[in-house]
Amino acid sequence: MKIPFVTKEKIEEIAMSYPTPFHIYDEKGIRENARKVNKAFSWNKGFKEYFAVKATPTPKILQILKEEGCGVDCSSYTELLMSEACGFFGDDIMFSSNVTPDQDFIKAYELGAQINLDDFTHIEVLEKLTGIPETICLRYNPGGQFKLHNQIMDNPGDAKYGLTKDQMLEGFKLLKEKGAKYFGIHSFLASNTVTNDYYPMLAKILFELAVELSQKTGVKIKFIDLSGGIGTAYKPQDKPNDIETIGEGVRKVYEEVLVPAGMGDVAIYAELGRFMLAPYGHLIAKAIREKHIYKDYIGLDACAANLMRPAMYGAYHHITVLGKENQPCDHKYDITGGLCENNDKFAKDRMLPKIDIGDYICIHDTGAHGFSMGYNYNGKLRSAELLLKEDGSVEMIRRAETPKDYFSTFDFTGLFD
Ligand SMILES: *Cc1c(COP(=O)(O)O)cnc(C)c1O
């Protein structure tokens, strides 16, 4: 059973100041989880979690994570600007982008970010734009299929990211010639994994590669970045990942592979997004319409523009009808938004308690890749983001868009004169 971090009474109180729909985040949950992540890897002196900004690009969230000792992982110019505004600088920033425009490389370099190159050809691009920095990272793609316990987790051979193994070797040699002193290795092989074995398995691949590259090229490996991919238990029957077990699993491989190779000073980096935030956000919406045709539909004041994952991936998000937590789930509904798109459904054939107009609907696990994937299709406006603070008070950390925001890229002067 998934229990919301807010009650119906609390939402009724909040909705008096901030109308639905809105995303709300649980500061206490975010902080406690961040501390667990840091503790699980505290055996590694240089460990740092670089929060993937794209998951929840909201300054207040970045500041909370900064206070918990996290850095940021950026992949675009505006993510770099936001991180700069939040006080991240130098080694606090990983820049893991792809198809990177010149402007982005230049900004990352100016901020002193640790730059992670997605392709061999980017070495020359970066050299021409800014020169090669002292610390540089290459993203690895092993190709083929990525299997865990004989199960296919993902298909790196079909992914656009990273360098082949030969390119990693040539890349490190070339970067060394061009003056780089400290090297990083990065890879992201499977997304949203719900198993404690993904990180240790990835670590083994990258640690063995690090030993080989270091022996063949003589470069100094400073860090190995395990990136994102630790997932969220979206379904109530999923077993959540245990970060302590994951940290311990990586430590074992570290001691088996890196320590005997004399590389016991390599720092471990992470770029977790989903694991840091997803469970600590809810999308709160109100049931505003119902219809009964061939199926029974409940229409919300939120739509796929506020949470794209169900429409885009058919992703499951758990739903709680606030105040009806203990009522039997004896009604079958499609829960929909109002886009002119039939895939705008938060749930299909979902068994829920009887829903009445005006009921508040809590959509779970929207703290990462939720608000941030929002869009303006059908002229729908982005919602507010609220923070439930540790003392129980609520702070608006992003206001809702207004029609004026939607029209702000037009100049209507002259049109209506
Ligand atoms: C998206 C992304 C992440 C974060 O992924 P999660 O699944 O949210 O943990 C980390 N690193 C890079 C390079 C990414 O693109």
Residue 164 tokens, joined: 């082949």
Average pLDDT over residues 125-142: 98
Return the pLDDT at 150.
87
Q: What is the pLDDT of residues 145-197, one digit of tens each?
A: 999 988 899 999 999 999 999 999 999 999 999 999 999 999 999 999 999 99
In sequence order, the β-bridge partners of residue 220 are 182
Average pLDDT over residues 69-95: 98
Q: What is the pLDDT of residues 372-394, one digit of tens each?
A: 999 999 999 999 999 999 999 99
Average pLDDT over residues 111-131: 98
Above 80 in pLDDT, residue 297?
A: yes
Q: What is the pLDDT of residues 300-329, one digit of tens each?
A: 999 999 999 999 999 999 999 999 999 999
Average pLDDT over residues 102-123: 98
Which atom of ligand 1 is nearest to 368's Cα? 8
Which atom of ligand 1 is nearest to 161's Cα? 13
Return the pLDDT at 190.
94
Contacts of residue 249, Cβ cutoff 8 Å, sequence gap at least 6 = 196, 197, 199, 200, 203
Q: How far is CA 157 from CA 141, 160, 189, 201, 289, in A?
A: 8, 8, 10, 17, 46
User: 229 CA to middle of ligand 1, Å?
Assistant: 6
Above 70 in pLDDT, residue 277?
A: yes
- Of the pLDDT bands very low, low, confident and very high (cuts 50, 70, 90), residue 334 is very high
Return the pLDDT at 414.
72
- Of the pLDDT bands very low, low, confident and very high (cuts 50, 70, 90), residue 223 is very high
Above 90 in pLDDT, residue 332?
A: yes
- Of the pLDDT bands very low, low, confident and very high (cuts 50, 70, 90), residue 411 is confident
Which atom of ligand 1 is nearest to 97's Cα? 13
Q: Domains in the chain and their CATH numbers?
A: 8-23+279-407 (2.40.37.10), 27-277 (3.20.20.10)
Residue by residue, what is the 3-state secondary structure of the chain? Answer: CCCCCCCHHHHHHHHHHCCCCEEEEEHHHHHHHHHHHHHHCCCCCCCEEEEEHHHCCCHHHHHHHHHCCCEEEECCHHHHHHHHHCCCCHHHEEEECCCCCHHHHHHHHHCCCEEEECCCCHHHHHHHHCCCCCEEEEEECCCCCEEECCEEEECHHHCCCCECHHHHHHHHHHHHHCCCCEEEEECCCCCCECCCCHHHHHHHHHHHHHHHHHHHHCCEEEEEECCCCECCCCCCCCCCCCHHHHHHHHHHHHHHHHHHHCCCCCEEEECCCHHHHHHHEEEEEEEEEEEECCCEEEEECCCCCCCCHHHHHCCCCCEEECCCCCCCCCEEEEEECCCCCCCCEEEEEEEECCCCCCCEEEECCCCCCCHHHCCCHHHCCCCEEEEECCCCCEEEEECCCCHHHHCCCCCCCCCCC
User: 227 CA to middle of ligand 1, Å?
Assistant: 6
User: 93 CA to middle of ligand 1, Å?
Assistant: 14
Return the pLDDT at 98.
98
pTM of the entire predicted model: 0.97
Above 90 in pLDDT, residue 415?
A: no
Return the pLDDT at 417.
58
**Ligand 1 site residues, Cβ closer than 6 angstroms:** 52, 54-55, 73, 75, 96, 188, 191-192, 227-229, 271-275, 368
Above 80 in pLDDT, residue 413?
A: no
**Pocket probe mutation, ligand 1, options 96, 188, 280, max atoms within 8 Å of Cβ:** 188
How many Cβ atoms are within 10 Å of 240's Cβ, its own excluded?
A: 12
Average pLDDT over residues 37-65: 98
Q: What is the mean pLDDT of the chain?
A: 97
Return the pLDDT at 24.
99
User: 165 CA to middle of ligand 1, Å?
Assistant: 21
Which atom of ligand 1 is nearest to 96's Cα? 13
User: 226 CA to middle of ligand 1, Å?
Assistant: 10
Return the pLDDT at 416.
62
**Pocket probe mutation, ligand 1, options 271, 276, 365, 369, max atoms within 8 Å of Cβ:** 271
Closest protein CA for atom 10 of ligand 1 = 228
